[in-house]
């Protein structure tokens, strides 16, 4: 009678060990996936920056020949603000809108 009980306990222990082993495998795979994602989060922007630097260094500004034409515009000169000289109570010139 003791032998069948031990076999059931052994079977249960074996099932528990199998479940534990599968869980550890999944945890290891999960840790590896997280590690890979962390590396990709750092690596992808670094590669993008490198690519942008290479593109910006390889592209040269195109030289174009343009002709400019001088035009004369006749219009009234802008109105200038006049300086107003007022004295404050301290005897120093006061700053107002037209004095700068």
Percent of the chain with pLDDT over 90: 16
CB under 8 Å to 2, separation ≥6 — which residues? Answer: none
Mean pLDDT, residues 85-97? 58
Mean pLDDT of 1-20: 77
Give, in order, the Cα–Cα distances in Å from 4 to each of 7, 15, 56, 76: 5, 16, 77, 115
pLDDT exceeding 70 applies to what percent of the chain?
A: 61
Condensed to tens digits (0 to 9), the pLDDT of residues 43-53 reads 999 999 999 99
Gyration radius (Cα) of the chain, Å: 42
pLDDT band at 61 (very low <50, low <70, confident <90, very high): low
> Two tokens at 6?
């031990």
Q: Average pLDDT, whole number, for the chain?
A: 76
């Amino acid at each position: 009678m003791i032998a069948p009980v031990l076999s059931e306990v052994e079977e249960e222990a074996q099932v528990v060990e199998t479940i534990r082993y599968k869980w550890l495998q999944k945890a290891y795979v999960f840790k590896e996936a997280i590690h890979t994602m962390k590396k990709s989060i750092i690596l992808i922007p670094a590669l993008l920056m490198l690519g942008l630097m290479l593109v910006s260094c390889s592209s040269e500004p195109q030289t174009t020949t343009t002709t400019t034409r001088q035009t004369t515009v006749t219009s009234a000169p802008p109105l200038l603000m006049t300086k107003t000289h007022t004295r404050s109570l301290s005897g120093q010139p006061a700053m107002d809108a037209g004095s700068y």
